[in-house]
Structure 1
Amino acid sequence: MARPLIAHIDLDALRHNYRLAQELAPGSRSVAVLKADAYGHGAVACAKALEDLVPAFAVAAIEEAVTLRDAGIATPIVLLEGIFSADELPQVDALGLSMTLHSDWQLEAVLAFTPRRPIPTWLKVDSGMHRLGYSPAAAEVAWQRLAAQPRCVTDLHLMSHFATADLADIGYFSRQHRLVMALAERLGAPTCLANSPAVLAHPEAHGDYNRPGVMLYGSDPLELSCEASRRLHPVMSLTSEIIAVRELSPGEPVGYGGRFTTAGPSRIGVVACGYGDGYDRHAVDGTPVLVDGKPSVIAGKVSMDMMTVDLTDLPEAGIGSEVVLWGVSRHGALLSVDDVARYCDTISYTLLTGVLPRVPRRYVGGSASSPVD
């Protein structure tokens, strides 16, 4: 029998979450973000599940785009970070990709290149994230230069990224939004602005395109959940089983360093999952899990291939019992990846993208005839 750790991927839930993005932004087009192997869910499988719904996919780099094209995905693909060197431009042209421009060297490379057909281009403006993008004044100059070269570029859009759209305090978000919209108005430019939290909570930022990312995979990115974010369905369920049970007396240490010590007579279950699978080693004692659909907690440090959980109050649990690290139990109980992330002092993005290749993915649903709500 194979090791029982499995990442179950519900592609119908993925389609549901994409439909939710469409519903929330009916006047905008939702570009599905598949970077980082679709946030750890498998980019090719997720692309095939969504290709009948989406106007375009977005990835971080050309290697991710090549993977999709090699799998037969013909849908438009946007390179969110553009090219990393000018010698990528022939491949961008050959694969029919769209690209982001955020720096002068990229601009000069594109204007010096003669594509077979003009490259759809999104010009990135730094409205306050201070990561990638032109200042508003420089973006105005770059836009005019691009607009004057229709042989090189086409379908120009203005793009930006919000630093605080997830926070309850909307002050800085509003400042960014006002700045980029003033620039868009001066240029007469269509926009692509909204990331997942802006799609969920800021309809004023939906623009011509929006870019749902982590919300597609069922994670709520908002500091304070809203009605829309509570409608998200989890896509990945990371499950394993109890592979051994220890009966311990009071005062016994468990795991490396003896961080957890039994307070009374205890049953400790050993689970086939560890940081070598991508589960976060920083998980503290008390991090929630589900055992046969019932709440339990981690007791002791996460090891490379195993972790230990407290079964003291679950006398019926034993070897072979299902353990849900996050997601949906076969008993119907739910453990949110966002809740687990808080116990690890991290965010759901790191947990989902951190699930390593040795964990098999099992896919269900996802066809055009599958239900989406």
Structure 2
Amino acid sequence: MRPAHALIDLDALRHNYRLAKSLSGARAFAVIKANAYGHGAVECANALAAEADAFAVACIEEALELRTAGITQPILLLEGWFEASELPLIAEHQLWAVVHEQWQVTDLLEAQLSQPLHIWLKLDSGMHRVGFAPEVYPTVWRQLEASAQVASLTKISHFSRADEPDTGRTEEQMAIFTRATSGLVGPASLCNSPGILAWPQAHNDWLRPGIMLYGATPFGFPQGHADLLKPVMQLQSKVIAVRDLPAGEPVGYGSRFVTSRATRVGVVAMGYADGYPRHAPDGTPVLVEGQRSQLIGRVSMDMLTVDLTDLPDCGLGSQVRLWGTGLNASEVAAHAGTIAYQLFCNLNRVPRRFTSSFSASAT
């Protein structure tokens, strides 16, 4: 079989969830939207089922997949519903829902439900994506608080620059949140992964760890708590061919890379059809048998090329790690001008193999 695969370490996933919990006395969602950021939602949920306080997903399709798999914890729909017809299913499956727009309020107040819903009312504290403006938020809160359709209300907002601690923006958002929710009694949730790791004063009642669950740092600099994370995914393949080229020879499509010396080129079974970024430049780091090397030449659909010149013991059949232990996905992403979130979510053709001290499986 083609050697490209992603090894998913479920023990590392549990470690990262426990780290998030250890930084606060708050309860914590395990955010596993987008197929657990490309790691496998059902497998990751099952790995955390014994200890996660709740799960969070983007939409009802993702939530129902977890319910079908036997997940019984609360599941929060981070974008709420998209059509009023979803509301009976939300009630039936006891899902929690974010409300962020007036049309959702109208849907909820007009619905005929089997039971009231747990609602998380979104404040736009400065992200300016979704949520109620601070000046109208208290009015909407009291309107829902008075409705028999609502079982409970939680205050929620989202940081836009928590991964940039010196901008002052996070302090501004916290101040807006405090003012807008003053006098509104109920639990609160502000912190995504960088908020959890770097802003303890904002932890409140519920944490929402996302990218940190999967072991990638949200920061572009060393950060004490983030340095304790363990990569969950090892994206791996092998060298399937070796070429010895003299100086002055082009490598790959478009002749982007031209050898400046006699060069041993390793061809790796990994490409953009697998999710590796096509736009990764020459010099993007890779590990060959645990030793640092670099990408040379443009990434193809099914293959990419690496420099083996300074690795004389490596060659045909050598193990190649594209990201994982020893090479954080965030570092690869920085070279490629993107973020680890996108690397994980773009993972496509490669099979995922799951490992832990409790069980092992493959898909």
SS in 1 for 2:239: strand
Q: Does 1:156 align with 2:153?
A: yes
Aligned position for 1:140: 138
* Structure 1 residue ranges without an equivalent (≥5): 329-333, 369-373
Counterpart of 2:264 in structure 1: which amino acid?
R
Quote the offset at 1:67 in angstroms: 0.9
Distance 1:154 1:137 in 2: 24
Alignment of 1:121-132 (within 5 A): 121-132=119-130
Q: Does 1:48 align with 2:46?
A: yes
Q: Does 1:340 align with 2:332?
A: yes
> For the aligned residues, what is the CA RMSD?
1.1
Aligned position for 1:177: 174
Indicate if the aligned counterparts of 1:36 and 1:60 stay in contact, CA closer than 8 A: yes
Distance 2:165 2:282 in 1: 29
Indicate if the aligned counterparts of 2:298 and 2:304 stay in contact, CA closer than 8 A: yes
Distance 2:133 2:275 in 1: 38
Q: Does 1:255 align with 2:252?
A: yes
Indicate if the aligned counterparts of 1:50 and 1:366 stay in contact, CA closer than 8 A: no
Aligned position for 2:3: 4
Indicate if the aligned counterparts of 2:278 and 2:298 stay in contact, CA closer than 8 A: yes
Alignment of 1:68-217 (within 5 A): 68-149=66-147, 151-217=148-214
Change (3 A) 1:366 1:74: farther
What does the per-residue CA deviation read over 1:233-267, in whole Å, with 9 as the maximum and x for residues that have no partner?
00000000000000111100000011111111111
Distance 2:152 2:51 in 1: 21
Distance 2:115 2:203 in 1: 29
Distance 1:112 1:128 in 2: 30
Distance 1:193 1:154 in 2: 21
Quote the offset at 1:119 in angstroms: 0.6
SS in 1 for 2:321: strand
Of residues 282, 290, 297, the one that matches 1:300 is 297
Distance 1:249 1:224 in 2: 38
Quote the offset at 1:72 in angstroms: 1.2
Distance 1:278 1:187 in 2: 45
SS in 1 for 2:231: coil
Distance 1:362 1:216 in 2: 18
Q: Does 1:365 align with 2:356?
A: yes
Distance 1:206 1:52 in 2: 23
Counterpart of 1:5 in structure 2: which amino acid?
A
Counterpart of 2:273 in structure 1: which amino acid?
G
Aligned position for 1:238: 235
Distance 2:45 2:281 in 1: 35
Indicate if the aligned counterparts of 2:188 and 2:206 stay in contact, CA closer than 8 A: yes
Quote the offset at 1:179 in angstroms: 0.9
Distance 1:154 1:345 in 2: 44
Aligned position for 2:21: 22
Quote the offset at 1:367 in angstroms: 4.2
Counterpart of 1:198 in structure 2: which amino acid?
G
Distance 2:178 2:354 in 1: 41
SS in 1 for 2:182: helix
* Structure 2 residue ranges without an equivalent (≥5): none
Quote the offset at 1:113 in angstroms: 1.3
Distance 2:149 2:209 in 1: 28
TM-score (norm: length of structure 1): 0.94
Of residues 61, 64, 67, the one that matches 2:65 is 67
Q: Does 1:39 align with 2:31?
A: no
Counterpart of 2:333 in structure 1: which amino acid?
A
Poorly superposed stretches of 4+, deviation over 4 Å = none
- After superposing the two structures, state which structure 1 stretch, 290-299 or 164-173, moved more: 164-173
Aligned position for 1:317: 314
Distance 1:224 1:264 in 2: 34
Distance 1:32 1:181 in 2: 25
- After superposing the two structures, state which structure 1 stretch, 268-277 or 107-116, moved more: 107-116
- After superposing the two structures, state which structure 1 stretch, 28-37 or 175-184, moved more: 175-184
Indicate if the aligned counterparts of 1:49 and 1:366 stay in contact, CA closer than 8 A: no
What does the per-residue CA deviation read over 1:122-169, in whole Å, with 9 as the maximum and x for residues that have no partner?
0000000000000012111110011001x2112210100000111031
SS in 2 for 1:189: coil
Quote the offset at 1:3 in angstroms: 0.2
SS in 2 for 1:137: coil
TM-score (norm: length of structure 2): 0.97
Aligned position for 1:371: none
Name the count of aligned residue pairs.
359
Of residues 225, 230, 249, the one that matches 1:228 is 225
SS in 2 for 1:193: strand
SS in 2 for 1:312: coil
Distance 2:259 2:293 in 1: 15
Indicate if the aligned counterparts of 2:99 and 2:105 stay in contact, CA closer than 8 A: yes
Distance 1:138 1:268 in 2: 61
Identical-residue share of aligned pairs (%): 51
Distance 1:366 1:338 in 2: 26
